[in-house]
Amino acid sequence: MTTVLVEYDDVEWHRREWLSPHRDTAFTYFLIEKGVFWAERPDPRQNGLTAIDQYNHNNHTNNNHRINGKSKGSTSANTVPWPAIGFYPLVAREDLHEDMMPVEFINDKKLEFVDYTKLKPFTQQDWELTKGSLPWANAIRRWAEMQDGQRILLTTPSVLVGFRVEVYRAEGTTQWYTAVIVGYNESTKDLTVTDDTVLEEHNEDPRLVQMRLIGDGESIMRGEVVGMTPRRSRSSTGLMTHAIVVKIC
C-alpha cells in the first residue's frame, strides 16, 4: 500500500503527515504533477504583475502559434497565456471531468480549474523563452532543473558518486540535510551518502526519498564534466514535487 509524506501549502513543514492515498477516505482526489502547459488566465497586469506581452508580440516570430485553440494575435484582452503545472489523478473517488481540472500557474502559484482539452504543451521552442527576463522564466528554470535532477537520480544514479545532494528527512527536527554521495549499490539501488553535519553514512533510496542535486551536481544536467565537489556549508532549502489533495466536504 502506497504511503506518502505530505506537506501542505501555507502550513509549517513540521505539521506534515503521512497519507495512504489508496486507503484513506478523508479526501476525494489525490493528484500528482504531470508537466508544464500553456493555460489562459486573467491578465496579471490587473494584479500588478508584469505582463507577458513580450512573449505574445516580441519573442516569438511564428504568428501561427496557437494557445488554447486561439492564435496569440486573437487572445482576449482580459486573458493571457501563462505557463502552468498540470496534474493527473493518482486517486479519484469520483469522476473527474476534463473541463474542470486544476492547474497551478507558474510564479504566483495561483490555482485555477480549467478545461484540459484546451491546454497546449510547453514546447522546446517555448523553453528558449526561459533564457529571457519574462516574469515566470526563473520559476520555470527551477522547475525544469528539479525534474532533470530527479531523472538522473532515478535513471543513472551511479554517475553522481562524488556529488552533493540535499536529502529530505522523513524524521527529525530539520527538514533537509546536505551530504556527499560516496557510493551506489546496484542491487538495492541505494545511494550511500555522508551527512555533512554529523559525518555519518546513510543509505538512501532515491526512488523513495526526495533528493536534490546541489552545487556542481547541476553541471551534469548541462552536460558538463566536473570533478568531486568538496564538502561545504549550505542552507537546507528544497523544492518538493507538487500534489493536490481534495478533501470530502
37-85: pLDDT as tens digits: 999 998 775 655 443 433 343 344 343 333 333 333 334 458 889 999 9
Say yes or no: 124 and 174 in one domain: no
Assigned domain for 142 exists: no
Q: What is the pTM of this model?
A: 0.69
- pLDDT for residue 217: 55
pLDDT of residue 135: 81
Beta bridge partners of 219: none
State how far the Cα of 67 lies from the Cα of 122, in Å rounded to an integer. 10
Q: Is 229 helix (H, G, I), strand (E, B) or coil?
A: coil
CA–CA separation, 30 and 49 (whole Å): 31
pLDDT score of 219:
64
- What is the distance, to the nearest Å, from the Cα of residue 58 to the centroid of all Cα atoms in its chain? 28
Query: Number of helices (H) and strands (E), helices first, in the chain?
Result: 4, 15
pLDDT at residue 62, rounded to an integer: 40
Looking at residue 141, what is its pLDDT? 86
**What local confidence, expressed as pLDDT, does residue 223 receive?**
59
Of the candidates 62, 58, 85, which has an alpha carbon nearest to the alpha carbon of residue 140? 85
For the chain, residues with pLDDT lower than 50 are: 49-76, 226-240, 248-249
Tell me, what's the pLDDT at 97? 85
Residue 148 domain-assigned?
A: no
Residue 229 in any domain: the answer is: yes
Residues 107 and 162 in one domain: no
**Stretch (H or E) spanning 220:** helix 217-221
* Structure confidence at residue 98 (pLDDT): 81
Give the chain's domain count. Answer: 2
Query: Phi, psi (5° rounding) for residue 151?
Result: -60, -45
**CATH number of the CATH domain containing 187:** 2.30.30
Nearest CA to 221 out of 168, 156, 177 is that of: 156
Same domain, 100 and 161: no
Query: What DSSP element (H or E) covers 151?
Result: helix 137-155
Residue with cell 500557474: 105
Q: How far is CA 241 from CA 35, 71, 210, in A?
A: 11, 32, 9
What is the residue range of 51's domain? 4-135
The answer to whether position 228 is within a domain reads yes
Q: Could you tell me if 167 and 110 lie in one domain?
A: no
pLDDT score recorded for residue 136: 87
